Structures are given as C-alpha cells and as structure tokens.
Amino acid sequence: MLAYRSINPYSLETVSEHPDLADADLDQVIARSQEAFYSDWGQRTVASRAEVLRRAADMLDRDVDRHARTITLEMGKLIGEVRDEVRLTAAILRYYGDNAERLLAPVAVETDLAREATIVTRPLGPIFCIEPWNLPYYQLVRVAAPNLAAGNTVIAKPAPGVPASSLAFERLLHDAGAPSGVYQTVFVSNEQAGRIVAQPRVRGVALTGSERAGSAVAAEAGKALKKCTMELGGSNAFIIRDDADLDHAVKLAVQGRLMNTGQACAGSKRFIVHEHVFGLFTKRFGAAMDSLVSGDPLDERTTLGPLVNETAVKSILDQINRAIAGGAQVVTGGQRLDRPGCFIAATILEMQPDNPVAQEELFAPVAMVFRVRDDAEAIRLANDTPFGLGASIVTRDIERARALADQIDAGMVFINSNVLSAPELPFGGVKNSGFGRELSDLGIGEFVNRKLVTLN
C-alpha cells in the first residue's frame, strides 16, 4: 500500500494516493529550494512577496467551497468547520501580505558606542516543515505565510493521510505567483525527512505533531545545530468556577470538545468543575453530547463527524477501556457507533486525577470531567499534566480569572472562551507541548536573521 494514501472516513473510499519521493529526487528538491531563495525569492522586496500572499488570500476567499470539499472528503471534518478553516487560512495569508513590511522593518537602537545602530531582518533560506492531518490548510499556512513573507523558501512534508489537500494548497500558492521552488510539497518517509533535517542547505525546521515526533526531529535538528520550532500535543484544561454561567459553560464545553470531532491539539479536553455546580453541569453537558447527530460530514445537518481513520477509532477505544479499568465512570457514550464509517459516540468520563489515562491526550470527542473543591485545587489539577498548550476559565469574576490565568502553566489562556486563533494572536505552548510561536509578529520572527549593522 502506498504510504501517502487518503481514505474518506465516512464512505471508506480511496480519495488520493501517491508514492514516496525517490531518494534520487530528494536532493533536487533541496537544490530547487535553495536556488529559488538565492536567485529570486530571498532577494525580492518585501512588497513583492506580500503581493503574492494577498493574491493567494483573494483566490482562496473566492473558492472556499471547492477547497473545503477537498479537505472534508479526505479527513472527515464537518463542512461548516472546514469553511471556517479555509477562511482563516485566507486571513493568515492576507495578514502577512498586509503587515510584512511593518513587521520586518529595520529597528534603530540607541547606543553610545556607535553613530547609528540598526537591527535589520533578513531571511535564512530553505525551511523544512512537517505538518499533521487534522487541519490540513491551517497547519501549513501557519508556517508558510510568515516564512514566505520573510523571504524564506519552504519544503513541506504533510501527513500521509492528506496528500490531496496538501497539493491543493501548493497549487494555490503557485497560481498566486510563487515561483517554482519557493514552496514544495514532498511525500517522503520518516527516514528521508531525517535526511532533509540534517541537510546543511536547510536552515530551519518547524514541526506540528506528536511528542514522539517532536522529540525525534528536535534531536536531529540539534545535532545539525539549526533552529527548530515544535507545536506538539495538548490536554487543555477547562476550568468552571462555582459562579459560572452554566448555559455559556455547556455551550463552550461542547464546542471546545467537539472542535474537529475532538481531533485538535488545542481543543478543551479536561473539564475541571467546582463541586457546587459539578452535578448540574455534567448532566447538561451529557444531554448536549447525546443530542449530536452523526452522519455525512458534507451534510450541513451533521453535528458529529467520523474520526480520521480506523486506527484513531481503535486508539480511543483502548483509552476509554483503560480509563474505565482505572476507575472512570461513563456519564454518556463510551462505545463505537453502530453504523458504517469511523464513528465514536460523543463520550464523557468522570475521572479521578490518579486515573492512568488522565495524563494522556484524547484525540476524539471524549471529555474527561473532574470534581474540585476550590480554585487552588483547580489550578493544581490544571497544571498536573505533561502538556502546556492552552486552558480556558469560565467565571463571572473577571479579576479572579486574570489571577488564575497567571497561575496556569500554559502558552495560552482564554477567559470565557475556547481557544481563539487569529493571524494577529501568537499560538504555541510550553512543557511537552513544544516551544516557539506561530502567527502574529512572533511567528514571522522565528526563522530570520536579526542582523546588527552599526555606523561609526
């Protein structure tokens, strides 16, 4: 079976398949990327590069449905959510198209040691990114847009399950005017990816994926003495205080856990609820989960789509069974749905902190709920995880929420909302959730040379 092969998780039909890149062609990919950087892209004005990004954004906005359908057929995401992903992708392209000159402008430094001192921003060269399947356009654009704006060229390895979406994103950039070699999609094995990381002509590495993949790639990048960024897993805490608006809390809980059918690193996964509202919240949360309608993700009426593949179904069922064996109580769900396709019932597990699954990331529409006595216990539990990507707090006491947010060990905290992603907001985490930031002014500064130039 070809490694880069996508199967529609609803119909189980093959969507797209492609062979791995031949070893003999791998060096040519890197050579084209370097040649495009030195002969064209890296030497252009920022304004010239920005115009390509703006054209890509306009083209994407004009053809949202076609791009969205490609993604849904390939990995099963609900069509309404995919349209939002495509529009967000366009917004990110446009943000860097509109703001690149400002973000990359020279910065004067006051000093007594020189008549003038200026920090100028220059691109590094080819950047290699390794991206997952769960948000095929959004994950790619978070690396591609800022790096292309900065003048770097990009070699992108997508996940094996989304080749069609990855090629469609590449065609978008080329149709918008990106020259040959500036952005290249490569279907390569993990071994070949390691060789790209080690290649001296590649100047940086960005990865979004699992802890295991991040550890392996970061080790290879470290041996090659090159910069890398890692956006890894998350098990985001969702704290509900005793003064929370429960209507709002339940709405956010369903949205946060069902984001991308639960297959999102930044989705809400561990619901930490004050004991005074635990019973009522859990009952209403369960009723809302039970009301979801499974079906074709292309159907607007569907509210619960399939998981990405059969492996994902088997993995989450194993986690559910181990959680139950460790003492978890099933509030609702807990089983595979009796229908064709890769469907799992929307599930709530009442857990104790010492449950062996409590430290794991659940990549499915499965929520863990925990009962706590007070804010102090909520913070301890929120931080009792190897991950540190994001967290949410639901409360009417905003000043108290700000104080709690300061105590949460995460890269992002959202008060009275789920995760928010916008071009101007930095995205990233701490601990085993990785390092570095994507999007905003921070994202465009990860793979550049901040060069000091003085005049005496």
The C-alpha angle 111, 112, 117, rounded to 5 degrees, equals 40
Whose tokens are 């996964």? That residue is: 269
Question: What pairing do the DSSP bridges indicate for beta strands 430-431 and 387-388?
Answer: antiparallel
Q: Which amino acid is at 187?
A: F
Catalytic residue, from 231, 360, 438, 446: name it. Answer: 231
pLDDT reading at 69 higher than 90: yes
R_g (Cα) of the chain, nearest Å: 23
> Residue 148 is inside which H or E element, if any?
helix 136-150
Cα separation values, 205 from 31, 173, 305, 447, Å? 17, 20, 33, 9
pLDDT at 111: 97
Cα separation values, 76 from 73, 135, 338, Å? 6, 11, 18
- Mean pLDDT along residues 23-39: 96
> Rounded distance, CA 87 to CA 347, Å?
30
Burial status of residue 272 (CB atoms within 10 A of its CB: 0-12, 13-18, 19 or more)? buried
pLDDT at 124: 98
pLDDT band at 1 (very low <50, low <70, confident <90, very high): low
- Mean pLDDT along residues 312-334: 98
Query: Structure tokens of 129?
Result: 């990114």
- Mean pLDDT along residues 350-372: 97
Q: Is 361 a catalytic residue?
A: no
Using one digit for the tens of pLDDT, what is the confidence trace for 169-179?
Answer: 999 999 999 99
Q: Which amino acid is at 415?
A: I
Percent of all residues in the chain with a pLDDT value above 90, rounded to a whole number: 99
> Rounded distance, CA 131 to CA 355, Å?
31
Collapsing DSSP states into helix, strand and coil, what is residue 106?
Answer: coil
**Is it true that domain 236-422 has CATH number 3.40.309.10?**
yes
- Mean pLDDT along residues 154-181: 98
Q: Is 350 a catalytic residue?
A: no
Using one digit for the tens of pLDDT, what is the confidence trace for 92-108?
Answer: 999 999 999 999 999 99
Measured between its terminal Cα atoms, the distance across the chain in Å is 64
- Mean pLDDT along residues 315-334: 98
CB contact at 8 A, 265 and 389:
yes
> What are the φ/ψ torsions at residue 216 (nearest 5 degrees)?
-65, -45
Catalytic residue, from 265, 342, 438, 446: name it. Answer: 265
> Rounded distance, CA 113 to CA 111, Å?
5
Displacement of CA 84 from its chain's centroid (Å): 14
Using one digit for the tens of pLDDT, what is the confidence trace for 36-52?
Answer: 999 999 999 999 999 99
pLDDT at 406: 98
Q: What is the mean pLDDT of the chain?
A: 97
18: CB partners within 8 A, 6+ apart: 2, 4, 5, 163, 187
Using one digit for the tens of pLDDT, what is the confidence trace for 387-441?
Answer: 999 999 999 999 999 999 999 999 999 999 999 999 999 999 999 999 999 999 9
Whose tokens are 């390691």? That residue is: 194
Using one digit for the tens of pLDDT, what is the confidence trace for 76-92?
Answer: 999 999 999 999 999 99
pLDDT at 218: 97
pLDDT reading at 303 higher than 80: yes
Superfamily of domain 4-232+433-455: Aldehyde Dehydrogenase; Chain A, domain 1 (3.40.605.10)
Whose tokens are 């060269």? That residue is: 125
- Mean pLDDT along residues 145-157: 98
Task: With CA atoms as reference, report the closest residue to 383 among 414, 406, 401, 356.
Answer: 406
pLDDT reading at 2 higher than 80: no
Residue 249 has a CB neighbour count (10 Å cut-off) of: 25
Using one digit for the tens of pLDDT, what is the confidence trace for 178-236?
Answer: 999 999 999 999 999 999 999 999 999 999 999 999 999 999 999 999 999 999 999 99
> Rounded distance, CA 7 to CA 148, Å?
31
pLDDT at 310: 97
Collapsing DSSP states into helix, strand and coil, what is residue 413?
Answer: strand
Task: With CA atoms as reference, report the closest residue to 124 among 31, 34, 218, 199.
Answer: 34
Percent of all residues in the chain with a pLDDT value above 70, rounded to a whole number: 100
pLDDT band at 3 (very low <50, low <70, confident <90, very high): confident
Displacement of CA 379 from its chain's centroid (Å): 25
CB contact at 8 A, 180 and 36:
yes
Task: With CA atoms as reference, report the closest residue to 270 among 412, 401, 385.
Answer: 385
Task: With CA atoms as reference, report the closest residue to 46 among 103, 127, 89, 129.
Answer: 103
Buried b (16+ CB within 10 A) or exposed e, 153-187: bbbbbbbbbbbbbbbbbbebbeebebeebbbbbbb
Q: Is the pTM of this model over 0.95?
A: yes
pLDDT at 232: 97
Q: Where are the domains of the chain?
A: 4-232+433-455, 236-422
DSSP letter at 438? Answer: B
Strand ranges of the sheet holding 448-455, from the earlier edge strand across to the other edge? 107-108, 116-123, 448-455
